[in-house]
C-alpha cells in the first residue's frame, strides 16, 4: 500500500514538473517574440513597424497607394491592409501562409534604396520599389475601429532611432509632411530640415560634376562650419541623435555640465569585406570632457562626430589620397580643444596595404586666406601601424584621416642591376687606389712633397671604404653577430676616415694657395695623420663605449636606433669638409686678385720690376684646370732706366 502511494506521488510530481516546464517554455517563447517585436532597426532603414498578428482564418495582404502623406496598417480577420504614398508593385492581393497561429511581422521602408516591403513570418512581400521620397514625421494615432488587435507592436525611424512600444490596436496611422523648401534662419534647426541638408550634401559628394556648384566652388571650411552650426542647433529629445546618408553620417551627443566624467568609446558598424576600411573606433578620454565641461547652470554643449566617406571637401594642392576616402570630424560646440594630456585614439581596421604604401595619420588644416585649398598635417598626431590596423593618437580635435603615402618601388630586376653596378664601381675604385698607391711606393724618385703623401692617405681611406662596403653583405648573410658588429665598426671607421682626409685635402690646398712662399711646420704630416686617422678612431671608440649595441644587428621599428648615434657622428664631421672645400678656392681667388693688384704697372713711361716668384704648386694648376706652364709668369730680368 505504501509503495502504491509512493508511486502515485512520484507520478503526480512528474506531471506537475512537466506542466511547470511547459509554462516556462511558453513564457520564454512569448518573451522572445516580444523582444523580436522591439528589436532595433537595421542601419539603412528609415521606418520600421513591427508586431504580432494572430491568424485565425485564411487571410491575405492588401497594399494600396494613397495620395495622403501617411503610412497606415489595418488588421482584420481576412486581411492585413497597408496604405502608403508610394506606387505599388502587387497586381493583386497576396495570400498569407495557410497554417493558423501567431505570426511576427515587420513593415520596412528603406528610402535610400526606394524599397517598401513586409516580412510576414518567413515570407517577404515587396510592396513598392519607388519609395525614395523624403518624408518628415508629424504624428501617430491608433485606429479605434473594431477588429482583432495587433500585439506587441513597436516602431522606430530615422527621426526616433529608439524602439518605441505601442499599445495593442486594430490599426495604426503614421502621418508625414514634406520637408521645408528653404533653410530656416532661426536659432534652432528642424530635424527634418537638417536631414534634407545632409541628403543634399551626400548627393553633392557622390556626383560633384553633375551639380551646378562643385565642392571646390565653395571653400571646404565654409561648408564644414555651416554643417557644424546646424548640427549643434538641431532640436531633438534624448541624449543622442544620429543621421545616416550614403556618404555623410553624423552623430550628436549632449554634454550635460552635471554629468560624471568618463571615457567615451564609439564604434562604427562593420562594412562589407571588400571595403577598404571595414570599421573604426574612437576613444575620447575623460580629460577632454573635463576641459570642455561648463559650470552649473550653463547651457549644455554638444559633441559632434561627422563621418565622411568621400574626400571631395578635403582636396589639397597635392591631390593626396586618403585611405578609403574616410574622414572623421570630432568637434565640441564653441570650444577649441588642443594640447590634451591624454590623446584621442582613432583606430581603423582596413585591408592590407601594398609594401610601397605608408599610412600616416593626418588632420585637415584650413587655409584662412581662402586663396588655396587646405592641406594635411601630422603635427600632434602619432601613428601606430599594423598590417590590418592603424591607430592615430592625437592631442586635439579636428577632422582626421589616414593618408596613403606611396613610394616608388624599384623592380627586382632593376635592383639587381643597381647592385651589380654598385659592386663593379667599388671594385674598380679599389683597384685604382691599389694601383696608384703601388705605383707611388715602387717609384724610385719619391717626391718629398707632403702633398703627394696626403693624396696617398686619402686613396688609402677610399680603398678601406670600398673594401668595407664589399664585405658588408657577405658578413651580414653569414649570420654571425660578432662578424656583423666588426663589419659595422670597420664601415663606420672607413667613412669617417674618408671625410677626415677630404677635409685635410681642403686644408692642405688652402695652405698651398695662400702661403705662397710656404711655412715650415715641424711634423706636419704626422699631425695630419693623427687628425685623419686618430679622430675617426676616437669617434668609433666613443660610440662603442657608450653602447656597443649601436653596432651589429638592429631592429628599425624602435624609437631609438643606432643611426641616431652613428649618423650625427658622421654628419657633424661633414661640415668641416665643406668648409675647407669652399674656403680654399675662395681664398685662392682673393689672393690672386691681391697679387694682380701688386703686379699692376705704375704710371706710363715706367717699367715694372717683378720679383722672382718661382713655380707654384702643381695641385693648384690641376684643380684650376690650367696648364703648368701658364700657372706663373716667367722670371723677369731687372732693367735700368736709360739715361736721358
Taking only the tens place, the pLDDT of each residue in 363-379 is: 999 877 766 678 899 99
Residue 556: what pLDDT? 53
- Quote the CA–CA distance of 293 and 260 in Å, as a whole number: 10
Residue 245: what pLDDT? 84
Residue 4: what pLDDT? 42
Kindly report whether the global pTM for this prediction surpasses the value 0.75: no
Q: Rounded to whole angstroms, what are the CA distances from 597 to 399, 459, 590, 592, 620?
A: 67, 38, 11, 9, 20
Mean pLDDT of 410-416: 80
- Do the strands 381-385 and 389-394 form a parallel or antiparallel pair, or are they unpaired? antiparallel
Taking only the tens place, the pLDDT of each residue in 287-343 is 888 777 655 556 678 899 999 999 888 988 888 899 999 999 999 988 888 899 999
| % of the chain exceeding 90 in pLDDT | 32
Residue 386: what pLDDT? 92
Cβ atoms of 409 and 383 within 8 Å: the answer is no
All domains of the chain in start order, with CATH:
32-177 (no CATH), 191-406 (2.60.220.50), 412-583 (1.20.1070.10)
Using DSSP, state whether 86 is helix, strand or coil.
coil
Mean pLDDT of 420-442: 92
Taking only the tens place, the pLDDT of each residue in 550-604 is 887 765 544 344 444 444 554 545 555 555 555 555 555 555 555 554 444 443 3
* Confidence bin at 493 (pLDDT 50/70/90): very high
Residue 318: what pLDDT? 84
pLDDT greater than 70 at residue 426: yes
* Confidence bin at 610 (pLDDT 50/70/90): very low
Residue 162: what pLDDT? 76
Q: CB under 8 Å to 296, separation ≥6 — which residues?
A: 257, 258
Task: Provide DSSP, 357-370.
Answer: EEEEEEEEE--TT-
- Quote the CA–CA distance of 16 and 9 in Å, as a whole number: 10
- Strands of the 344-350 sheet, one edge to the other: 264-267, 277-284, 344-350, 389-394, 381-385
The most confident of 28-42, 242-256, 291-305, 595-609, by mean pLDDT: 242-256
Q: CB under 8 Å to 357, separation ≥6 — which residues?
A: 404, 405, 406, 407
pLDDT greater than 90 at residue 402: yes
- Quote the CA–CA distance of 588 and 624 in Å, as a whole number: 10
Three-state secondary structure along 599-629?
CCCCCCCCCCCCCCCCCCCHHHHHHCCCCHH
pLDDT greater than 50 at residue 30: no
* Confidence bin at 361 (pLDDT 50/70/90): very high
* Confidence bin at 114 (pLDDT 50/70/90): confident
Amino acid at each position: 500500500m505504501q509503495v502504491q502511494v509512493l508511486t502515485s506521488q512520484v507520478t503526480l510530481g512528474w506531471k506537475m514538473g512537466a506542466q511547470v516546464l511547459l509554462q516556462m517554455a511558453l513564457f520564454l517563447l512569448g518573451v522572445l517574440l516580444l523582444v523580436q517585436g522591439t528589436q532595433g532597426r537595421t542601419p539603412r532603414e528609415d521606418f520600421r513597424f513591427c508586431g504580432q498578428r494572430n491568424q485565425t482564418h485564411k487571410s491575405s495582404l492588401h497594399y494600396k497607394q494613397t495620395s495622403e502623406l501617411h503610412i497606415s496598417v489595418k488588421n482584420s480577420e481576412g486581411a492585413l491592409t497597408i496604405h502608403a504614398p508610394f506606387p505599388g508593385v502587387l497586381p493583386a492581393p497576396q495570400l498569407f501562409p495557410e497554417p493558423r497561429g501567431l505570426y511576427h511581422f515587420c513593415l520596412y521602408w528603406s528610402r535610400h534604396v526606394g524599397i517598401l516591403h513586409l516580412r510576414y513570418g518567413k515570407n517577404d512581400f515587396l510592396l513598392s520599389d519607388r519609395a525614395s521620397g523624403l518624408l518628415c514625421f508629424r504624428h501617430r494615432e491608433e485606429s479605434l475601429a473594431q477588429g482583432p488587435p495587433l500585439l506587441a507592436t513597436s516602431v522606430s525611424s530615422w527621426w526616433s532611432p529608439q524602439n518605441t512600444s505601442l499599445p495593442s490596436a486594430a490599426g495604426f496611422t503614421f502621418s508625414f509632411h514634406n520637408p521645408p523648401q528653404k533653410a530656416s534662419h532661426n536659432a534652432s534647426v528642424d530635424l527634418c530640415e537638417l536631414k534634407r541638408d545632409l541628403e543634399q550634401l551626400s548627393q553633392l559628394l557622390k556626383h560633384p560634376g553633375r551639380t551646378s556648384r562643385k565642392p571646390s566652388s565653395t571653400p571646404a571650411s565654409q561648408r564644414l562650419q555651416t554643417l557644424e552650426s546646424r548640427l549643434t542647433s538641431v532640436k531633438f529629445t534624448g541624449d543622442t541623435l544620429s543621421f545616416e546618408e550614403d556618404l555623410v553620417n553624423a552623430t550628436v551627443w549632449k554634454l550635460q555640465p552635471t554629468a560624471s566624467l568618463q571615457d567615451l568609446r564609439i564604434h562604427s558598424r562593420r562594412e562589407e569585406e571588400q571595403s577598404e576600411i571595414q570599421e573604426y573606433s574612437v576613444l575620447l578620454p575623460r580629460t577632454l570632457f573635463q576641459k570642455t565641461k561648463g559650470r552649473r547652470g550653463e547651457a549644455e554643449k554638444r559633441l559632434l562626430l561627422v563621418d565622411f566617406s568621400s574626400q571631395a571637401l578635403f582636396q589639397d594642392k597635392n591631390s593626396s589620397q586618403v585611405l578609403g576616402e574616410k574622414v572623421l570630424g570630432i568637434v565640441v560646440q564653441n570650444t577649441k580643444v588642443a594640447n590634451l594630456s591624454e590623446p584621442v585614439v582613432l583606430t581603423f581596421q582596413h585591408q592590407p596595404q601594398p609594401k610601397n604604401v605608408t599610412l600616416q595619420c593626418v588632420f585637415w588644416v584650413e587655409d584662412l586666406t581662402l586663396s588655396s585649398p587646405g592641406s594635411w598635417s601630422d603635427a600632434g598626431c602619432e601613428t601606430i601601424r599594423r598590417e590590418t590596423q592603424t591607430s592615430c593618437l592625437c592631442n586635439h580635435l579636428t577632422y582626421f584621416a589616414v593618408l596613403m603615402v606611396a613610394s616608388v618601388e624599384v623592380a627586382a630586376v632593376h635592383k639587381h642591376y643597381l647592385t651589380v653596378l654598385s659592386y663593379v664601381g667599388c671594385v674598380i675604385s679599389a683597384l685604382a687606389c691599389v694601383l696608384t698607391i703601388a705605383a707611388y711606393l715602387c717609384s724610385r724618385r719619391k717626391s718629398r712633397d707632403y702633398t703627394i703623401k696626403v693624396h696617398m692617405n686619402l686613396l688609402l681611406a677610399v680603398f678601406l671604404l670600398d673594401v668595407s662596403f664589399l664585405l658588408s653583405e657577405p658578413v651580414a648573410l653569414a649570420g654571425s653577430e660578432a662578424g656583423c658588429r666588426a663589419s659595422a665598426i670597420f664601415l663606420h671607421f672607413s667613412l669617417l676616415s674618408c671625410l677626415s682626409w677630404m677635409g685635410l685635402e681642403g686644408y692642405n690646398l688652402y695652405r698651398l694657395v695662400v702661403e705662397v712662399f710656404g711655412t715650415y711646420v715641424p711634423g706636419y704630416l704626422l699631425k695630419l695623420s693623427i687628425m685623419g686617422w686618430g679622430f675617426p678612431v676616437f669617434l668609433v671608440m666613443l660610440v662603442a663605449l657608450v653602447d656597443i649595441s649601436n653596432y651589429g644587428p638592429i631592429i628599425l621599428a624602435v624609437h631609438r636606433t643606432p643611426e641616431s648615434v652613428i649618423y650625427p657622428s658622421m654628419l657633424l664631421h661633414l661640415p668641416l669638409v665643406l668648409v675647407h672645400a669652399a674656403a680654399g678656392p675662395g681664398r685662392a681667388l682673393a689672393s690672386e686678385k691681391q697679387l694682380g693688384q701688386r703686379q699692376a704697372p705704375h704710371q706710363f713711361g715706367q717699367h715694372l720690376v717683378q720679383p722672382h716668384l718661382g713655380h707654384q704648386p702643381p695641385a693648384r694648376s690641376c684643380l684650376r684646370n690650367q696648364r703648368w706652364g701658364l700657372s706663373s709668369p716667367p722670371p723677369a730680368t731687372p732693367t735700368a732706366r736709360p739715361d736721358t
